[in-house]
Amino acid sequence: MKKFIISLIAAFAVFSLLPQKAKAQCPQKMVYACATETQSIYLRDFNTKLKNTTAAESGARWTVVLNKDAHYRFNLCVPEGFEKKVILTLYDSQHPEKTDPYGSTYDPASGKHYNSFDFVCRKSGMYYVSIRFKDGVTDKKTCAVGILSFVGSK
């Protein structure tokens, strides 16, 4: 019985710390607004806080499993003033994040930024989504939300 009470107290202590960590990310309102602005089926969100330490360390990376012949959409939402400073990128181990991604909200060749991009998966497997500051951005911190949604099948 003592072990149960100690476990219960430990669990309460751990869960009481979670709201403090959640405040570091974008507010749930921003996640909801970003998820509802697309005309597709919401699958997952990627909510992160960006700190400008080094370009390689800023932001976060997530692993996703995508299915062959599925059409996906990736949206990026950031607070006002950061539209041209944050990039969402989709890549795998054979197509590096910086040199040959499957898709990105920034096109270095044209210098254009986009709110979203579509991806038709040609091979089922594990892919990576990253949200980072664009190289050369000197802002200290912000938050960003990426949304993965399903558009349809081939």
CATH number at residue 99: 2.60.120.380
Q: Summarize pLDDT for 139-153 with one digit per residue, the tens.
A: 778 889 999 999 998
Tell me the pLDDT band of 46, cut-offs 50, 70 and 90: very high
Q: Is 8 domain-assigned?
A: no
Q: Is 20 domain-assigned?
A: no
Q: Summarize pLDDT for 75-101 with one digit per residue, the tens.
A: 999 988 888 889 999 999 888 888 889
pTM: 0.77
Q: Is 21 domain-assigned?
A: no
Q: How many domains does the chain have?
A: 1
Domain boundaries, position 106: 26-153
Q: Is 2 domain-assigned?
A: no
CA 51 to chain centre: 14
